[in-house]
């Protein structure tokens, strides 16, 4: 965006925001599930029990989605850096 490449910047921002929204959605869904378990009396209100539940609350489908989203965020970051560097050098010439 700084180098006046608005389409490229917008595409990177869009992919990053989509991936981050997926990560946040999965985290909130997990947290609400744990809160429902606590409110339902299934889990005592003790820090050890809650910590154990949080660390053991793993869904393979959610983890795959989160891992893919993290890869997308990282890839957008790297592509943005490399593309900005390349465009900066091209514009200097």
Domain extent at residue 18: 6-92
pLDDT of residue 59: 63
Tally of structural domains, the chain: 1
Predicted model pTM:
0.76
Confidence class for position 79, pLDDT limits 50, 70, 90:
very high
- Taking the C-alpha atoms of residue 36 and residue 17, their distance in angstroms, rounded to an integer, is 28
pLDDT of residue 57: 67
How is 73-90 classified by DSSP, letter by letter?
HHHHHHHHHHHHHHHHHH
pLDDT tens per residue, range 16-73:
999 999 999 988 988 888 888 888 888 888 888 788 777 776 666 778 888 999 999 9
Domain assignment of residue 13, yes or no: yes
């Amino acid at each position: 965006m700084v180098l006046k490449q608005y389409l490229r910047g917008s595409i990177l921002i869009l992919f990053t925001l989509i991936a981050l929204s997926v990560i946040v959605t999965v985290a909130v869904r997990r947290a609400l599930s744990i809160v429902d378990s606590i409110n339902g009396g299934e889990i005592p209100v003790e820090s050890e029990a809650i910590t154990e539940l949080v660390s053991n609350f793993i869904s393979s489908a959610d983890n795959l989605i989160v891992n893919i989203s993290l890869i997308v965020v990282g890839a957008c970051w790297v592509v943005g850096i490399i593309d900005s560097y390349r465009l900066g050098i091209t514009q200097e010439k």
